[in-house]
Amino acid sequence: MIPLQQCRFQHSSLLITIFCISFIASGCTQTAVNGADQSANSSTKPVSSQTQEKNNVIRLGYQKGGIIPIARQRGELERELVAQNIKVEWSGPFDRCATLLQALNGNRADIGGCGDIPSISGIAAQQPLCIGSIQRPKLDALSNAILVRGNSPIRKPADLIGKKVAVNQGGAGEYLLLKVLEKENIPKEKVQRVYLSPNDAAPALYQSSVDAWAVWEPYVSIAELEHGARRITTTHPAPTYGIMVVRSGSVTENPTAVKAALTALSKDGEWLNQNTAAAADFMVKELKVSNAVAKQATKNRGLESYTFPTAEDIANLQKTADWLLEQKIIPQRVDITAAVCPLGG
């Protein structure tokens, strides 16, 4: 594994545009009395100051789970970046990767943590995204599961034939379901996929509108501990990568802030690995979940170690992307090598 803080100049620079709030306000509040006044007042700061200001802001988007919300509560990332004259802004929490990627695509965030499936789906949809760093698959993690109601007669994947399963389209849930069906030699057409967000899928399961739900942490622990849901899968047939997704933008600014943020997030991940109880406490504060949910979700997720992708990682992700294309989950092939952010010097 290659720690982010030890990786330097491994890729060529990919510059990312960051518009900070004060710059927008300055541009939006100027009043032009006439053409001459408009020209004279079109900028209240020297160009060099404006550029420096934009380069000193990084916006981190986060979901309900993972490193970023814990980093926000812990505060070390922000202190480290402030010491480098980089301001940190936060966006979230988002209920799933798709909405986080929309924020990146809409220039409301610069970096966000997602799974490889939605990240590849976003890139395939030609969203301006690239792969900043990766978290390698955790073979023994319990962070993804297909859930049923506690009183459901469904006991095993074969029992899903003819049933409705809630999944997030083009995301980790759909991938998990399809891989489970593939492993069990069940034709995917025999199980009805119902595309729902986690916020809609949870009540749909509890109210019997769907028969099962393929989902991830902390939704797994919330469903199990607070609603009596039950797993019918205990392992993932194809463990997935975690991705720190970067908004590529106009690629003219901000490589220093992006790389510094990824490095700091890697450090937060290593801290979490050594301090799972404290990490669970931060999750309670940030995501407003119970102590029991936070502890189980943190344990189920396993290690949170991020690094720059190696050639082997890129090859593995390419296999996943090609499989998604074969399954018609994504509309076109994704070249993973080209999708990696060249963040080095």
pLDDT in tens, 75-86: 999 999 999 999
Same domain, yes or no, for 128 and 263?
yes
Domain boundary among 231, 265, 289: 231
pLDDT, position 8: 38
Q: Residue 24 — pLDDT band, cuts 50, 70, 90?
A: very low
Neighbouring residues of 68: CB distance < 8 A, sequence distance ≥ 6? 60, 61, 62, 92, 112, 113, 265
Span of 28-37, 56-65, 295-304 with lowest mean pLDDT: 28-37
Same domain, yes or no, for 276 and 328?
yes
Same domain, yes or no, for 148 and 194?
yes
Distance separating alpha carbons of residues 226 and 250, to the nearest angstrom:
45
Same domain, yes or no, for 150 and 111?
no
- Of 56 and 333, the structure prediction assigns the larger pLDDT to 333
Query: Over the chain, what is the mean pLDDT?
Result: 84
Q: Is residue 12 over pLDDT 60?
A: no
Distance separating alpha carbons of residues 143 and 333, to the nearest angstrom:
28
- Assess if residue 31 is contained within a domain: no
**Between β-strands 87-94 and 57-63, what pairing exists: parallel, antiparallel or unpaired?**
parallel
Q: Residue 254 — pLDDT band, cuts 50, 70, 90?
A: confident
Q: Is residue 128 over pLDDT 50?
A: yes
Give the length of the chain: 345
- Assess if residue 36 is contained within a domain: no
Same domain, yes or no, for 120 and 8?
yes
> 163: domain range?
144-231
What is residue 133's three-state secondary structure? strand
What are the pLDDT digits (tens) for 273-306?
A: 999 999 899 889 888 899 999 999 988 888 889 9
Total domains in the fold of the chain: 2
What are the pLDDT digits (tens) for 183-208?
A: 999 999 999 999 999 999 999 999 99
Cβ-in-10-Å burial (0-12, 13-18, 19+) of 208 comes to: exposed
Q: What is the dihedral of CA 84, 86, 91, 92, to 10 degrees?
A: 10
For 152-171, what is the mean pLDDT?
A: 97
- Assess if residue 269 is contained within a domain: yes
- Assess if residue 291 is contained within a domain: yes
Domain boundary among 165, 199, 231: 231
Rg of the chain, C-alpha, whole Å: 21
Same domain, yes or no, for 13 and 109?
yes
- Assess if residue 312 is contained within a domain: yes
- Assess if residue 195 is contained within a domain: yes
CB 59 within 8 A of CB 21: no
- Assess if residue 87 is contained within a domain: yes
Same domain, yes or no, for 220 and 291?
no
- Assess if residue 183 is contained within a domain: yes
Same domain, yes or no, for 13 and 107?
yes
Same domain, yes or no, for 86 and 197?
no
Domain boundary among 203, 231, 259: 231
- Of 141 and 220, the structure prediction assigns the larger pLDDT to 220
Same domain, yes or no, for 73 and 128?
yes
- Of 260 and 56, the structure prediction assigns the larger pLDDT to 260
Same domain, yes or no, for 124 and 159?
no
Same domain, yes or no, for 116 and 252?
yes
Q: What's this model's pTM, rounded to 2 decimal places?
A: 0.78
* CATH assignment of the domain containing 216: 3.40.190.10
